[in-house]
Structure 1
Amino acid sequence: MAAMTPTPTPNDEASSNDETPSAAGPAVAARHGDRDRQEPAARTPRRLRPRSRPRVWRGAVLALAGAYFVLPLLASFVFTVHVPGQGISFEAYTQLLSAEGFTESLLLSLGLAAATIAASLLLAVPALVAVRIGSPRLRPVVEVMCMMPLVVPPIALVTGITTVLRWGPEHLSRTPLYQTFLAVQNPDFPVVLVLAYTVLALPFVYRSLDAGLRAVDVPTLVEAARSCGASWPYVVLRVILPNLRAALAGAGFLTLALVLGEFTIASLLGFQPFAVWIVSISGAHARMSVAVSVLSLLITWLLLLLLSRAGTTPTTVSAGPSRGSGTSRTSRTSRSSRTSRTSGKES
């Protein structure tokens, strides 16, 4: 009889497959172990490199921006205090208060800035709140109207203003409006500059207030206040405006910077605010004019810090009546008792 060979069963095949890797030797296992050890080490630098690059670029960009703003300021300051052949002298700063026209021009510019801020906010705040609450479809129209002064050159604006001012002596000399035309051109406080600066400041005021209104749910606040019986003046003054303090501060600062640095309109109309006075003394007193420019820049930065703090100061809510406080204490006591009872039942 021929020798019969045993047929392999499935269990034998499985056992042979399980024994194959171990029989292949420890080389394969060593390769897998080395690969597992090398993968974390290779992945770690890839994750850390992209994080370190933005920090380096961020610091470089900030350093370049700081140098761009600080170096001209330092150069201007050195020019005001360094006199060739004499050394360091602060004469340009000590003679400012006694300079002719300095106090008058500065007070005039600050008064014009205050009036312009008030006029621009009185125009922009009610209009934007009404558009935000009642008719959002009119927002593009209001935006285009407020952004129009950015397109119109100041020379064209001055030409239009002078054309209108000529109507007084030419056509209205025998009417009561003639005195109005003379009053708006008073050199002590030219109202015509306030009107012109209000038009120029509308784009900046609009952008600042629009950003503040978008960050606040104005319709919900107004509806809640009106449902509690609040009047519209109360809603605007006590509900909406406190939520727009940062936007109002930004609009006020931008308007202040615009008025202090505006030269074209005031010079062509024949008035002498602060910027026109600086240019007028630059020929005879170069160091003094640069010193005034440096001081005006520092004052503007100081006002920026004050306005930013005023816009970010948290509001203080007054304490309610004793009845409300007692109710709150009772509710807290009841909550604590319920919690203790629940914990006792669970235990």
Structure 2
Amino acid sequence: MAALTPTASTGPTEPGVQPAPVAPKGRRTSARRGRPRVWRGAVLILAALYFVVPLIASFIFTVHTPGQGVDFHAYTGILSAEGFTKSLLLSLGLAVATIVLSLLLAVPALVAVRLGAPKLRPVIEIVCMLPLVVPPIALVSGISTVLRWGPENLSTTPLYSTFIFVQNESFPLVLVLAYTVLALPFVYRSLDAGLRAVDIPTLVEAARNCGASMPYVVLRVILPNLRSSLAGASFLTLALVLGEYTIAALLGFQPFAVWIVTISGAEAQTSVAVSLLSLLIAWALLMVLSRAGARAGSDAATAAPAPTPVPGKE
């Protein structure tokens, strides 16, 4: 007599009909989990190739000269290139001024809306997102029209010196104002995410109940809880200023991005080498920022007090 092996069935079976064996659930779940992993790996490989292959081709272009072999003069001569230091320092100065101005505008506005007028949040969001809708070429066209109109029609007024001052080539404040407008969407998104993650009204109420003034609350309570958001907004603004070309070129100034394009005709290898180095520096800053944010989150989780056990409950 043959031994019968028990098999799983999902319902009643007819007499004389042997139910089909059911595959173990573990195999089904592993197969289902394996497919997304394969596709995920394929997408990551394609994305890596999309970004890495152009970088490798650019690097080969900078170090290889047909008929002369491999040479690193494009990298060794960056610091001695004419205009490199001046344009880089100008862009860094514009970036610092833009970061300060954008944070001074966005942080008090968002904190005030969060505390006193939550219904105005959609209005603030629309205003801060408008630069994404307006093309930079339209923005610079309006700026250049105003800058031409001012000296021609306000030559006998005190505003004439203001128009001349903001167009100073050594440090054009008009670029700071334009870059602040362009950076508002990124600053808003970063700060809004940070404010949503922190219970600002409770922190402010607790600090005020302890006798702290409102400036003290902003500087010592709110801003420390927004360190990651402030760092993210600052990094995005820095990357925007260092890479912006349209507004600066059409207004006639020469920061770092415009200098790279200017020398590309005479020193193409140096131009590409500087672009690669600036990209690598931006990636390094992004990695440092992400590590700092993760470390701050882990420190906050470690410093959080453990819940007090209730007597009689395990």
**What TM-score results when the alignment is normalised by the length of structure 1?**
0.79
For residue 13 of structure 2, what is the aligned residue in structure 1? none
Q: For residues 254-283 of structure 1, what are the alpha-carbon distances to aligned partners after superposition, in whole Å with 9 as ceiling and x for unaligned?
A: 111110111110001000000100111111
Task: Write the distance in 1 (CA, Å) between the matches of 2:126 and 2:37.
Answer: 39
Listed as ranges, the matches of 1:205-220 within 5 Å are 205-220=187-202
- Report the 3-state secondary structure (helix = DSSP H, G, I; strand = E; otherwise coil) of the residue aligned with 1:30: coil
| TM-fit CA distance, 1:309 | 3.7
Q: For residues 296-335 of structure 1, what are the alpha-carbon distances to aligned partners after superposition, in whole Å with 9 as ceiling and x for unaligned?
A: 1011112222333444443989xxxxxxxxxxxxxxxxx9
Match of 1:91 among 73, 83, 89: 73
Listed as ranges, the matches of 1:1-347 within 5 Å are 30=4, 33-35=6-8, 41-314=23-296
Q: For residues 178-198 of structure 1, what are the alpha-carbon distances to aligned partners after superposition, in whole Å with 9 as ceiling and x for unaligned?
A: 222111111010000000000
Q: For residues 115-154 of structure 1, what are the alpha-carbon distances to aligned partners after superposition, in whole Å with 9 as ceiling and x for unaligned?
A: 1011101100110111111111001110110011111111
| TM-fit CA distance, 1:44 | 2.8
Look up the equivalent residue of 2:44 and give its one-letter code.
L
- Report the 3-state secondary structure (helix = DSSP H, G, I; strand = E; otherwise coil) of the residue aligned with 1:116: helix
Task: Write the distance in 1 (CA, Å) between the matches of 2:136 and 2:163.
Answer: 21
Task: Write the distance in 1 (CA, Å) between the matches of 2:294 and 2:209.
Answer: 29
Cα pair 1:249 1:308 within 8 Å, conserved: no
Task: Write the distance in 2 (CA, Å) between the matches of 1:41 and 1:155.
Answer: 63
Cα pair 1:117 1:256 within 8 Å, conserved: yes
- Report the 3-state secondary structure (helix = DSSP H, G, I; strand = E; otherwise coil) of the residue aligned with 1:96: coil
Cα pair 1:249 1:310 within 8 Å, conserved: no
- Report the 3-state secondary structure (helix = DSSP H, G, I; strand = E; otherwise coil) of the residue aligned with 1:187: coil
| TM-fit CA distance, 1:218 | 1.1
Task: Write the distance in 2 (CA, Å) between the matches of 1:35 and 1:126.
Answer: 66
More helix by share: 1
Q: CA RMSD in A?
A: 2.4
Count of aligned pairs: 294
Distance verdict in 2 for CA 1:264–1:228, change over 3 Å: same
Task: Write the distance in 2 (CA, Å) between the matches of 1:301 and 1:42.
Answer: 46
Aligned-residue sequence identity (percent) comes to 73
- Which of the pair has more CA radius of gyration? 1
- Report the 3-state secondary structure (helix = DSSP H, G, I; strand = E; otherwise coil) of the residue aligned with 1:60: helix
- Report the 3-state secondary structure (helix = DSSP H, G, I; strand = E; otherwise coil) of the residue aligned with 1:121: helix
| TM-fit CA distance, 1:41 | 4.6
Runs of 4+ in 1 over 2 A off after TM superposition: 33-44, 305-317
- Report the 3-state secondary structure (helix = DSSP H, G, I; strand = E; otherwise coil) of the residue aligned with 1:314: helix
Cα pair 1:245 1:312 within 8 Å, conserved: no
- Report the 3-state secondary structure (helix = DSSP H, G, I; strand = E; otherwise coil) of the residue aligned with 2:113: helix
Unaligned runs of 5+ in 1: 1-25, 318-334, 343-347
Task: Write the distance in 2 (CA, Å) between the matches of 1:105 and 1:308.
Answer: 28
| TM-fit CA distance, 1:35 | 4.2
| TM-fit CA distance, 1:38 | 8.2
Cα pair 2:7 2:22 within 8 Å, conserved: no
Task: Write the distance in 2 (CA, Å) between the matches of 1:44 and 1:231.
Answer: 61
- Report the 3-state secondary structure (helix = DSSP H, G, I; strand = E; otherwise coil) of the residue aligned with 2:282: helix
Look up the equivalent residue of 2:4 and give its one-letter code.
A
Cα pair 1:246 1:311 within 8 Å, conserved: yes
- Report the 3-state secondary structure (helix = DSSP H, G, I; strand = E; otherwise coil) of the residue aligned with 2:226: helix
For residue 332 of structure 1, what is the aligned residue in structure 2? none
Look up the equivalent residue of 2:92 and give its one-letter code.
L
| TM-fit CA distance, 1:292 | 0.8
**What TM-score results when the alignment is normalised by the length of structure 2?**
0.87
| TM-fit CA distance, 1:111 | 0.6
For residue 10 of structure 1, what is the aligned residue in structure 2? none
Look up the equivalent residue of 1:135 and give its one-letter code.
A
